[in-house]
Chain A
Amino acid sequence: MVIASIVIFIVFTALCIYCLLSKPKKTMKSKEVDQIKANQMAEDEEDDFEKIDLKIWKKIIKIIIKDKKLIIQMMIAVILLAVNDLVYPLLNRYALEHYFNEQPDFGTKWLFIGMYAFLAIALGITVWSFIRAASIVEESTTIEIRKQAFDKLQRLSFSYYDTNSSGWIMARMTSDARKLASIISWGIVDLLWGFVLMIGILIVSFIINWRLALLLLALVPVFLLLTLYFRKKILREYRGVRKINSEITAAFNESFMGSNASKTLVLEAKNEKEFDVTIAKMKKRSIQAAIFSSIFWPTILVLGYFGVAVVAVEGGKMVIGDELKLIITTGTLYLFLDYAMRFFDPVMSIARIISDFQQAQASAERVISLIETVPDVIDTPEVIEKYGDVYHPKMENWEELEGEIEFQQVSFKYKGTDKYVLKDFNLKIEKGQVVAFVGETGSGKSTIINLISRFYEPSEGSILIDGKDYKERSVGWLHHHLGYVLQTPHLFSGNILENVRYGRLDATDEEVKQVCQIVNAHEFIEKLPQGYLTDIGEGGNKLSIGQKQLLSFARALLANPKILILDEATSSIDTENEKMIQDAIGVVLKGRTSLMVAHRLSTVVNADKIVVLREGKILEIGTHFELLHKKGYYFNLYKNQFLQEFEQKSINSI
């Protein structure tokens, strides 16, 4: 019987292995298709199973585990828990052997009860301590991952933000951080518990009866492979379901956003028909997935009980003690039955964690890649030595910045591309000058701004500030003297005071109010319910764009920068607010080198110098009127805009 059952299991195991091994063949064929799909999947961040690479895990653990003691504490608690789970069936066996038979002997009853009570308390304590320890590990890992990633993000240069969407970066800080923290805490807990309990059951079994123990051992690969196989299969099935589900959500979204279009185009019936097809597809796919997921647990159960039945028969024989003369008690038999019935628990938990690790590996790789990214714009060690770094600036060594900027033979191309956005560019901006850059999208005007701000550095040539290559001084030094106003003003959650103060963190309330008055923002702020302490909502959403823009001017003004950059700062302002903004600009520009990029030409007319750009080269340069008289590119651009704006303004001004 034993031999027969072992043979069956071996055959079955072989089958399972065959199934698993034959799998890669299929994926090889469809690899190209998968590649294409992978691109689409990227945004859904559904990770497939990877072969476990211990190096990656070693690295990530090295990066994020600061306190090894915690992990050790957690491990000890879990091992104790597994031992506990192992011991108490032994206690039951003792009771069966000593009390529940023909000749009971109750002499040890108090000791037995005491032992049991001790075990109960021990269980309580181990459960408490392992959950506690694992939670601490989980939280401290999340904190650490987020902290290091955030720290890196502050240091990373602009090229990083260009190539990685904010959604992608967010996902590293959220889902990846969570996934990794959970697998490093609870994953290790489950794995260790499963492993210790499994080995423990096997050892105890071997000591008491090796033949029954062998039987249990034969079950291990079966459960392991079966669980791994089903988990992959089920996860992949549900991935398909989730994909359709996101289609459905998208359909809902489109239907709500486009309800006017649907009504006026009379598309309701058509929409409904299409939607019905999608949800029917969803139903079909889900039911298909349901078949798989429903078959898994019963299969494990039936197999498990096949083992239980064999143990019962073999154990029964031993109790009766016929041919083999291996006599065991019914208590021992029950112990085996008990072990056999709970054996699939630890084995399955091992399998589950293995597949979790396979899945989470991609998260680990991504987090490592983020944390190990080297910023493109970094100061040399000598510069850091003198001027300090981002977090520890040595302001005492900083020179004053005057505001003279000079481009010397500057060429620039984005990393990984061959096309120059800017080629052999030369331009000198005097201290205190207002210079505007005009041109189509892609003409290079934003690149110039980014180069001056040292968000990027020239590929060739150099930029001098006050006559000295700006790489010879720190990024922090430059940024400290820089003010920046964007097209879409970016404000932070919090109140107005905090937001304006962002320009200079040590400014007093009075100073904040002063700059608000200068840019004409004071009036509307005072009208708000809590004045300067009014919460402006996430991203300042409770304010109008014009109001937000005024605040961003105030913020820039507070910084009292030597160089001020206005990046399309007026293009999203409606005509009503334009006057106020124009006035604010006038105030803000005074006494500093100012650079603006503008779509709306009405803002640039007063500039000292207008640089008209085309394909990275200077097309025209001069003052507003000089350029108008030239009757060239600028003339046409301005004329068209003037007439259009005039038309729009006139109808509302009557």
Chain B
Amino acid sequence: MKQNSKTGAKYILYLIGRFFPLLLLILVMSAIDSATYTYVSMFIKYIIAVLDNDIHATNNLSEFILNWFNLGQGMLDKVVYASIGLFLFQFIRGIFKFLMGFYRQFFGEVLAKKIRKDMYHHIQELPYSYHNNVDTGDLIQRCTTDNDTIRNCLCSQLPELVSIFAVLITAVFQMWKINRLLMLVSLIIVPIAAITSIIFCIYTEKKFEEIEKEESKLMSMIQENIAGVRVVKAFANEAFEKEKFEKQNLIYSTKNLHLNKVSAIFWGMSDASTLVQYLITMTTSIFLLINKPGIIRASDIVAIMMLLSSYIWPVRSLGRIVSDLGKCNVAAGRVKEILDLKSEYVMDSSFQPEIQGKIEFSNVSFQFDDTNQHLLTDLSFQIEPGETVAIIGKTGSGKSTIAKILTRLIEYQEGSILIDGHELKDIKKEYIRSKIGLILQEPFLFARTVYDNIRITNEMADPERITEVAKIASIEKDIRSFEKGYDTMVGEKGATLSGGQKQRLAIARMLLVDKPIYIFDDSLSAVDTETDLMIRQALKKHNQATTIIITHRITTAKQADKIIVLENGGVSAIGTHETLAQQEGLYQKLWNIQGKAEAEFMNILREGGAVDGHC
């Protein structure tokens, strides 16, 4: 946490430095806006003073302006011109306020855009190992809510803070010119209001956390009830649910109400103390007048009362601002924490050799950083260009790890992998990925149309080509059956595709670009055997690429040029179906069992007959 707040502060400083001119402009504008506000009371003061025949007290800005233009000789003229002056002054301030408001939001947008962009770009470049374990919800929160918090802090709370000080200083200055004692007396409320508002804010925040907890309990209770309506009804537990809900409903509301009641006390006292401050100022001036008649004129007391109200409200909001600034630090720390993670492309090479599709594994070993157990040990095999190779093994034998290593999603620790004679680690990541078509068992489809999902790998592809790959992947018919055909939206808001449809769509998308190497990582598991075969035959006809098929289906593996059998992270056998089926080992066992399936089924039929007969 401490570390976090330190990096947070550093990041805020960085952002301030980055946008210094804009931020400075906003802060200066805020200061000017607040400072000039106190001059409104000076205009009023002047008008009252003129009408009161009080010429001594008119030594201020409005008088100065009027004299400059040589206006306002008579009393009424002076009032008229001062009024026009006040209006024009506010008119100019209005324009200034507009610009300030605009620049504040403009700055906010520029800042938010930068953080969004930095985060998005950076997170994309974080390695597979990071994305594999990350809590997406938390990450999104860092990109959105935390970003907003930082933005609000820099483009509204910080200027507000400056405003408070600006208005306070100028008001004090104006009061100083009127009467120093009155000034001092009128400032009594400032420390009191500031401190109490900060204490109150801290208290509120703490309570608020508790309330939020109760609220989320209540929310999940409703959620569970709605989601489990079948269970509730089927067990006839409506009354129980109602009672449970009402109890939590009351707990939450009571807590909330309690906080509001405390707030009511705070605001009541706070408002009362404002009036007490007016009273103190007023009383002091009355007693000053009694001692020394004429020392405070009507215009003076009017000005002081107005100045007083110009800073009382801002000072009372100090607590909120301070507590919000505190949140900003935490938010910045959370954002920076992500930005400080190392991109997977930082140390990448730039080597981009021609790739034919020859793959050589020699003594490759791999283990995850946080375990001692090797996932792959001493793996060696060779794949020739254009060959179709099946890798077969049990769940957990390390089959999928090979695909991830080949695409450099994860890095092997020992041994060497040569692609057309070049060490894999020396080849640029993005380049090798663009040369290998990897199709996963549970492919991710993007929230756009079916057409755009296929086209995603090559924007330039023409419609004929897209239907062609869809046909090869046996998905064309399915797409035609959709109500909107190729324009069907995929994802949450669109059609829900079955697992097999997703897999075939992913295949189509990958086929759109010719690649020297394709890897099917169990990516036809949700497709029935016949379609599986059809797709593979179509593939074979259309390209001469090296194809690696990772599978647990022996019928799929059977047709490969070469079959690699994996057991416990190592190669236990390599060969064709003919050789392996003769050889004792996992493959043979599998083959035997698989072949028996049909017989087994017939057996069941017969058995059933017997049982039936008994009946």
B-chain residues with CB within 8 Å of residue A308 when the two chains form the complex: 86-87
With beta carbons under 8 angstroms apart, the residue of A123, A261, A297, A486 that contacts B271 is A123
- A120-B276, A252-B140, A294-B105 known; A333 vs B51 contact (CB < 8 Å): yes
Interface hits, B374-415 → A, CB 8 Å = 392, 394-395, 407, 409
Interface hits, A68-122 → B, CB 8 Å = 88, 92, 95-96, 99-101, 104, 106, 109, 112-113, 116-117, 119-121
What distance in Å separates the Cβ of B277 from its nearest Cβ neighbour in chain A? 9
- A135-B257, A482-B234 known; A283 vs B113 contact (CB < 8 Å): yes
Instruction: Indicate if A287 sits at the interface (CB-CB under 8 A).
Output: yes
Q: Is the CB of A490 within 8 A of B227?
A: yes
Q: Is the CB of A99 within 8 A of B86?
A: no
> Number of residues in B with C-beta < 8 Å to the partner?
153
How many Å lie between the Cα of A286 and that of B298 in the bound state?
47
With beta carbons under 8 angstroms apart, the residue of B139, B222, B438, B590 that contacts A264 is B438
What distance in Å separates the Cβ of B112 from its nearest Cβ neighbour in chain A? 8
B-chain residues with CB within 8 Å of residue A276 when the two chains form the complex: 117
B-chain residues with CB within 8 Å of residue A169 when the two chains form the complex: 226
What distance in Å separates the Cβ of A332 from its nearest Cβ neighbour in chain B? 11
How many Å lie between the Cα of A154 and that of B225 in the bound state?
9
Instruction: Indicate if B48 sits at the interface (CB-CB under 8 A).
Output: yes
Flag the segment in B118-126, B163-171, B418-426, B471-479 that touches A.
B118-126
Q: Which partner residue on chain B sits nearest A631 by CB separation?
A: B605
Q: What 0/1 pattern do residues 283 to 326 of A give for CB contact below 8 A with B?
A: 10011011101110111011001101110110011011010000
B-chain residues with CB within 8 Å of residue A550 when the two chains form the complex: none
Q: Is the CB of A258 within 8 A of B446?
A: yes
Q: Is the CB of A490 within 8 A of B76?
A: no
B-chain residues with CB within 8 Å of residue A104 when the two chains form the complex: 289, 293
Q: Is the CB of A455 within 8 A of B272?
A: no
Q: Which partner residue on chain B sits nearest A455 by CB separation?
A: B233
How many Å lie between the Cα of A486 and that of B609 in the bound state?
33
Flag the segment in B17-25, B347-355, B591-599 that touches A.
B591-599
With beta carbons under 8 angstroms apart, the residue of A121, A266, A390 that contacts B272 is A121
Interface hits, A240-284 → B, CB 8 Å = 248-268, 270-272, 275-276, 279-280, 282-283
What distance in Å separates the Cβ of B542 from its nearest Cβ neighbour in chain A? 19
Q: Which partner residue on chain A sits nearest B224 by CB separation?
A: A492
Instruction: Indicate if A124 sits at the interface (CB-CB under 8 A).
Output: yes
Q: Which partner residue on chain B sits nearest A248 by CB separation?
A: B116
How many Å lie between the Cα of A309 and that of B90 in the bound state?
10
A-chain residues with CB within 8 Å of residue B554 when the two chains form the complex: 647, 651
Q: Which residue among B110, B125, B239, B443 has the maximum number of chain A CB atoms within 10 Å of its CB?
A: B239
Q: Which residue among A116, A129, A297 has the maximum number of chain B CB atoms within 10 Å of its CB?
A: A116
Q: Is the CB of B597 within 8 A of A643?
A: yes
B-chain residues with CB within 8 Å of residue A255 when the two chains form the complex: 120, 123-124
A-chain residues with CB within 8 Å of residue B100 when the two chains form the complex: 294
What distance in Å separates the Cβ of A209 from its nearest Cβ neighbour in chain B? 15
Q: Is the CB of A330 within 8 A of B298?
A: yes
Q: Is the CB of B117 within 8 A of A279?
A: yes
Q: Which partner residue on chain B sits nearest A154 by CB separation?
A: B238
Chain A residues touching B, range? 35 or more
- A139-B260, A170-B226, A486-B230 known; A268 vs B289 contact (CB < 8 Å): no
- A279-B116, A486-B230, A490-B231 known; A299 vs B94 contact (CB < 8 Å): yes
Q: Is the CB of B282 within 8 A of A262?
A: no
Q: Which residue among B134, B282, B392, B434 has the maximum number of chain A CB atoms within 10 Å of its CB?
A: B282
Flag the segment in A141-149, A365-373, A416-424 that touches B.
A141-149
- A127-B271, A267-B456 known; A309 vs B298 contact (CB < 8 Å): no
What distance in Å separates the Cβ of B296 from its nearest Cβ neighbour in chain A? 7
- A154-B238, A484-B230 known; A287 vs B94 contact (CB < 8 Å): no
Instruction: Indicate if B305 sits at the interface (CB-CB under 8 A).
Output: yes
Q: Which partner residue on chain A sits nearest B293 by CB separation?
A: A104
Q: What 0/1 pattern do residues 575 to 615 of B give for CB contact below 8 A with A?
A: 00000000000100110011001101100110011011000
Q: Is the CB of B47 within 8 A of A312?
A: yes
With beta carbons under 8 angstroms apart, the residue of B261, B301, B604 that contacts A100 is B301
Q: Is the CB of A166 within 8 A of B227?
A: yes
With beta carbons under 8 angstroms apart, the residue of A154, A322, A331, A493 that contacts B221 is A493
Q: A100-B301, A264-B436, A272-B121 are in contact. List 16 more A-B contacts (CB 8 A).
A: A99-B285, A100-B285, A109-B290, A123-B268, A132-B260, A256-B123, A256-B136, A264-B407, A293-B101, A297-B101, A306-B87, A453-B233, A453-B234, A490-B230, A505-B237, A640-B528
What 6 A-B pairs are tightest by C-beta distance, nearest first?
A: A124-B272, A128-B268, A294-B101, A135-B260, A625-B608, A484-B234
Q: Identify 14 residue pairs between A and B in the complex whose beta-carbon atoms are under 8 Å apart, listed by A's number.
A: A88-B278, A95-B301, A100-B289, A100-B298, A117-B279, A124-B269, A143-B250, A173-B222, A301-B93, A309-B87, A316-B50, A320-B75, A624-B608, A650-B590
